[in-house]
Amino acid sequence: MKNPSSGIVKSKSHYLILDGLRGVASLIVVLFHICEAYSPDHPLTQPINHGYLAVDFFFLLSGFVIAYAYDDRWEKLSTWDFFKRRLIRLQPMVVMGMTIGALLYYLQAGAAFPLIGNTPVWKVLIVMLVGYTLLPLPMSMDIRGWGEMHPLDGPAWSLFFEYIANILYALGFRKLSNRTLGILLLLAAALLVHLAVFGKQGDLIGGWSLDAEQLHIGFARLLFPFIAGLLLMRLGKRIHIKGAFAICSLLLIVALSLPRFGGAEHLWMNGLYESICLIIIFPIIVAVGAGATLTEGLSTRIAKFFGGISYPLYITHYPLIYIYTEWAASNKPSATRGAEVGALVFIGSIAIAYSCLKFYDEPIRNWLSRRWLTWPHGKT
């Protein structure tokens, strides 16, 4: 491997439609979590029932984008340089998400989260500082009662697995042939189907706790879509159709919003549907999105906006969801009142994400890039 100072690693253009689809999926996640406040322990009846599969879609996009961005750069890129780039891209918003979670923590106290009232400030600060590192917290450090590895900002569990995926890519996956990756993909598909179709839940919900069962779910959800994304990029599979962004957005929304299949009597049916989503539907959506280009217009502006806020929205919205969940549990609002307050949470989440993007994330990443990713001739 060449020393990175021997060449210049230039930035690549983005797949704008894929960025926009990430934004669409993030919006569905927020809506899913708002609806989940009314049935937190009963996935059979949750509206927008499969919204949690957006995480698996994110893992697929991540594999695709990382292969696109880095597969042909390793002659000029060291492993540490890769990790620096990924940390600069992801870590600032991890810190912000944990900080927001800590600031809003005591506003979430109530019957839904009985541990909050007895949690001292020093313990919240420790949880926040550990959260900055994304190291998972054991059950003994749970300060909410949901068993989350990051109880100040629940969705951070998927960033923990995202970092694992980045490590696997840098240390191993990038060196493997397509044939070897294909074999790993088949094994990962078997792990996924076994969990979804033959598991006791009939779904892929989980991955956010530091115990054997939840880690099993987390790795099953990570490995197939991430490896599939790598291979999809490497093999150059693209589908060219008109109106790709609108079609892909609609297909993604439908896939994430359909009611649960099979009920409590036939759990395997829902697991089969979720397996089909991950193995067939989501890769098709990415292949279509990657095979299209956007001309300047409304679709481009929408894709840019929602693509820009997608990650900040995903990693900062959940502290508001905690507050909303406690409010719904304590007040038992009517459907109309619940929808009104839920709309405020939805709009507020977007506003916070956009503010974080423009006034924190982009400036911090630009500063860190100039400081740590400077190459010869001043290029980054």
Give the whole-angstrom CA distance, residue 249 versus residue 18: 10
pLDDT at 373: 86
- First-to-last alpha carbon distance for the chain, in angstroms, is 20
Confidence of residue 120 (pLDDT cuts 50, 70, 90): very high
Average per-residue pLDDT for the chain:
93
134 or 41: which leads in pLDDT: 134
Residue 148 has pLDDT above 70, yes or no: yes
If you average pLDDT over residues 282-302, what whole number do you get? 88
pLDDT at 341: 98
Give the whole-angstrom CA distance, residue 53 versus residue 256: 7
Report how far Cα 258 is from the mean position of its chain's Cα atoms.
20
121 or 15: which leads in pLDDT: 121
pLDDT at 296: 72
Both structure tokens of 123: 């313990």
If you average pLDDT over residues 343-350, what whole number do you get? 98
User: In b/e form, how buried is each residue of 52-90, taking b as 16+ CB within 10 angstroms?
Assistant: bbbbbbbbbbbbbbbbbbbeebbebbeeebbeebbebbb
If you average pLDDT over residues 132-161, what whole number do you get? 96
pLDDT at 374: 58
Strand partners, 113: 110
According to DSSP, residue 113 is labeled B
The answer to whether residues 67 and 230 touch, using CB atoms and an 8 Å cutoff, is: yes
The pLDDT tens digits for 70-94 are 999 999 999 999 999 999 999 999 9
Quote the number of domains for the chain.
1
Confidence of residue 371 (pLDDT cuts 50, 70, 90): very high
pLDDT at 205: 96
The pLDDT tens digits for 160-214 are 999 999 999 999 999 999 999 999 999 999 999 999 999 999 999 999 999 999 9
Confidence of residue 14 (pLDDT cuts 50, 70, 90): low
Residue 1 has pLDDT above 50, yes or no: no
The pLDDT tens digits for 209-266 are 999 999 999 999 999 999 999 999 999 989 999 989 999 999 999 999 999 999 999 9
Confidence of residue 377 (pLDDT cuts 50, 70, 90): very low
What is the number of alpha carbons within 13 Å of residue 189 lying toward its C-beta?
A: 14
DSSP assignment of 67-108: HHHHTT-TTT--HHHHHHHHHHHHHHHHHHHHHHHHHTGGGG
What is the pTM for the complete model shown?
0.94
DSSP assignment of 286-355: HHHHHT--PPSSHHHHHHHHHHHHHHHHHHHSHHHHHHHHHHHHHH---HHHHHHHHHHHHHHHHHHHHH
Give the whole-angstrom CA distance, residue 159 versus residue 324: 23
pLDDT at 47: 85
Question: Who contacts 125 (Cβ-Cβ below 8 Å, separation ≥6)?
Answer: 102
The total number of residues written for the chain in this structure = 380
User: In b/e form, how buried is each residue of 277-302, taking b as 16+ CB within 10 angstroms?
Assistant: bbbebbbebbbbbbbbebeeeebbeb
pLDDT at 180: 98
pLDDT at 300: 86
Confidence of residue 127 (pLDDT cuts 50, 70, 90): very high
Identify the weakest region by mean pLDDT among 301-305, 333-337, 372-376.
372-376
pLDDT at 15: 87
Residue 336 class from Cβ within 10 Å (0-12 exposed, 13-18 middle, 19+ buried)? exposed
If you average pLDDT over residues 24-48, what whole number do you get? 91
Identify the weakest region by mean pLDDT among 27-41, 84-98, 206-220, 359-373.
27-41
Report how far Cα 312 is from the mean position of its chain's Cα atoms.
10
Q: 229 lies in which domain range? A: 4-378
Residue in 69, 11, 18, 5 with CA at minimum distance from that of residue 366: 11
Any long-range contacts for 279-285 (C-beta under 8 Å, 24+ apart)? 279/189, 279/192, 279/193, 279/224, 279/228, 281/251, 281/255, 282/56, 282/57, 282/60, 282/225, 282/255, 283/60, 283/228, 283/232, 284/239, 284/251, 285/21, 285/57, 285/248, 285/251, 285/252, 285/255
What's at 238, amino acid-wise? R
If you average pLDDT over residues 60-68, what whole number do you get? 97
If you average pLDDT over residues 275-298, what whole number do you get? 91
pLDDT at 11: 46
Axis-axis angle for helices 16-36, 54-70 (nearest 10): 160
